[in-house]
Chain A
Amino acid sequence: MSEVQNDVTRFLDRLAERAAARGPEPTWIAARRQAGAARFEAMGFPHRRVEQWKYTDVRAIARGDFALAADGEFSQASAAALTLPIEAHRLTFVDGVYSAALSHLDDLPAGVRLLSLSQALAENHEAVGGPLGRLTGVEFSPFSALNTAFMEEGAVLRLAPGTVVEKPIILQFLSRANAAPVMSHPRILIEAGGRSQATVIEHHVGEVAAANFTNLVEEIMLDRGAILTHYKLQEAPLGDLHVASIQVEQARDSRFTSFNLNLGGGLVRTDLVADLNGQGAETHFNGLFYGQGRQHVDNHTLVNHNAPLTRSSENYKGILDDRAHGVFNGKVIVKRDSQKIEAYQNNANLLLSDRAEIDTKPELEIYADDVKCSHGATTGQLDEEAIYALRTRGIDEQTARGLLTLAFAGEVMEQVDLDAVSERVELAVAGKLPERFNLAGLVEAAVALGEQ
């Protein structure tokens, strides 16, 4: 047997073990699992010869031997140190296992259903089976197939029409430093009813020495006029491997805003897809990635303008140091009859080291003739005039460059409404910048001023 087959077989063996241990399931789930396993077996792990995976080598995942976590134990104290300090409704998963103890669901407003996938299935599996898999099928990628074969836990959020959720909803994924690495395949389903509004924060974080594999699939459906702000705050330990696909379906006049903030994880691949299916729908993708050491961060985004009068914007910024590798692939497709759409896309990157690498590929496919589209990608240098201005104030050149690098990230963070998130990311970026930039204490001063 070849090594590649070996890799696939190892995952399928795990699946068989799990199936033997699991009780009976509704037939639709069993059928999906089978389809997922078959698809995964047929495709295997993606190879770099495949265009979608050209710049990302997943051998670290394929060659890993990952068990499934047996429990969701995590000390309250260590969890508290990792949790975002925001008053929120919260579901917590530890290595993919739901932790009721670390979740906070006491004060959910009327019209909001937020529960773990296992609970949702136990309550009414048919209500889950309808929407689940509608956006992200097993054919999307070998990883979505694998997720479908393994899926057991995750989150279900349903917003009744007109519901406005004031507090953010946090889906927290904690990664433990286990004796042997584990994998999880979280599945998230969000159904936002007409004119409902909410903010969802998907937060990946964990113990420093953790080295686990997360393979997440998230499907988001926005009904007419629904407004959803979605954060993916990736602060996982550097040993963690992470693949996620997030697909959004948008009806008329809905608005989706994404903040994809990547600071952690050793290998992170995120696919973000929005289908603008109704007139007036708009989607805004904001991204920031900071790679250092040998981190690899791959962002693949796709916006489908399937209806006229839809709008999209995208702004991704990358900062790469050491031997980090960043990938940005942003694609916009405008269907033939999608007239009067607007689509703007920008990707800017800063390389702080000669050995850091960025592969950036903006793509526009336009089949309509009355559209406003632009795209651009820059891998750049800092503004020399600004460096001079800072130096005339006594700030040495390295610190000036550090300030401007922080500012570069700041342009994305300015769009963030949640201060706790923007401050946390800003502090993290300042802390990650090379010591030669000498920024210690500066950001803290700004945060302190903001708190007064």
Chain B
Amino acid sequence: MLEVKDLHVTVEGSEILKGLNLTVKAGEVHAIMGPNGAGKSTLSAVIAGKDGYEVTAGSITFEGRDVLEMEIEERAQAGLLLGFQYPVEIPGVKNIYLLKAALNAQRAARGEGEIPAPEFMKLIKEKVAFMKMDTSFLQRAVNEGFSGGEKKRNEILQMLVLQPKLAMLDEIDSGLDIDAMRVVADGVNSLRAKDRGILLVTHYQRLLDFVVPDKVHVLVDGRIVKSGDAELARELEARGYEWLLEETAA
């Protein structure tokens, strides 16, 4: 589904990713862990298409398409969706506008017509209830004045409505209390499907107690230095990253 090969990325002249390889297949949940500054957020930003990241070598393909050649919105329309670590506040743009515009853009890209209003209403109300959010959120401006937890729930809500093929979640667990964590984790777990890939980028193992990954990768200094199963995350939690850094250096 997603294939990242030998990816080298520079930001403002310094190389952040130094030959990263990653393959995510449909039905799998991958977690990318690593110390601060390892390049975790850079990876998701490059896949989403954020400005300011220069790919100097390597490739990213999604279902056989060259992601780096796609416009930002095309990537999302194709089913490649990023949930932000710091969701942007968009004053004045109501959540419901964003959801409807995004859903219709996706449908248009698939050659489908706009979603009928009653169907749309039913869909979003169901998803809002699942995320334990009040429907008044739909009328509020995107993320404006939301608490940290509300912003993260809102990111997951977008995922639930847009049903991406590959959901990337960048530090979705940061800033969440335990209750919000459960709701967010329930949301992520509900996204698990045999035709969908999920890529979690996280610093801590905590989230992985709720969303158990199939594969765990450790990103250190721009490369994946170790891959394993959920057990690897628990080992990192217990031992920290130091031993891996030493192992890599050796």
Task: Please report A residues at the B interface, Cβ cutoff 8 Å.
Answer: 383, 385-386, 388-397, 399, 403-404, 406-411, 414, 439, 441-446, 448-450, 452
Contact = CB atoms under 8 A, between A and B. Distances in A.
Given A407-B90, A448-B121, 11 more contacts: A391-B73, A392-B75, A392-B81, A393-B98, A395-B98, A396-B105, A410-B93, A410-B94, A411-B91, A449-B121, A450-B139
Most buried by A among B96, B100, B101: B101
Contacts of B97: 403, 406, 442-443, 445-446
Given A394-B102, A449-B96, A386 B88 contact: yes
A184 B98 CA distance: 45
28 contacts: A386-B90, A386-B93, A388-B50, A388-B72, A389-B87, A389-B88, A390-B98, A390-B101, A390-B102, A392-B48, A393-B101, A394-B76, A394-B102, A394-B105, A394-B162, A395-B105, A396-B73, A399-B101, A403-B97, A403-B101, A407-B93, A408-B92, A411-B92, A441-B114, A442-B96, A449-B121, A450-B139, A452-B121
Given A392-B49, A393-B76, A444 B117 contact: yes
Contacts of A404: 90, 92-93
B61 to A, nearest CB: 19
A390 B90 contact: yes
B93 A403 contact: yes
B141 interface: yes
Contact of B105 (A385, A399, A443, A449): A399
A421 B73 CA distance: 34
A393 B139 contact: no
B126 to A, nearest CB: 14
A392 B76 contact: yes
Contact of B162 (A393, A397, A449, A452): A393
B51 interface: yes
Contacts of B91: 407, 411
Contacts of B84: 389, 392
Most buried by A among B76, B87, B94, B142: B94
Contacts of B100: 441-442, 445
Top 5 nearest A-B pairs by Cβ distance?
A407-B92, A394-B76, A410-B92, A393-B102, A389-B88
Contacts of A403: 93, 97-98, 101
Contacts of A411: 91-92
A215 B191 CA distance: 62
B138 interface: yes
Given A390-B90, A392-B81, A449 B73 contact: no
Binding site secondary structure of chain B: helix
Contacts of A442: 96-97, 100-101
B26 to A, nearest CB: 20
A282 B106 CA distance: 49
B82 interface: yes
A401 to B, nearest CB: 11
A397 B138 CA distance: 22
A439 B104 CA distance: 11
Interface string B89-133: 011111011101110111001000010010011000000000000
Most buried by B among A395, A410, A444, A446: A395
Binding site secondary structure of chain A: helix
Nearest to B79: A394
A384 to B, nearest CB: 8
B120 A445 contact: yes
Given A403-B101, A441-B100, A445-B117, A392 B72 contact: yes
A392 B102 CA distance: 9
A380 to B, nearest CB: 13
A394 B96 contact: no
A386 B97 CA distance: 14
A392 B81 CA distance: 7
A157 to B, nearest CB: 34
B93 A394 contact: no
Contacts of A388: 50-51, 72, 88
Contacts of B75: 392
Contacts of B205: none
Contacts of A393: 73, 76, 81, 98, 101-102, 105, 158, 162
A393 B139 CA distance: 18
B90 A394 contact: no
Contacts of B82: 392
Nearest to B51: A388
A407 B106 CA distance: 22
A441 B101 CA distance: 9
A449 B72 contact: no
Contacts of B93: 386, 390, 403-404, 406-407, 410
Most buried by B among A392, A399, A409, A443: A392
Contacts of A445: 96-97, 100, 117, 120-121
B77 A394 contact: yes
B135 interface: yes
A389 B95 CA distance: 13
A174 to B, nearest CB: 32
Nearest to B50: A388
Nearest to A448: B117
B104 to A, nearest CB: 8
Interface string B215-231: 00000000000000000
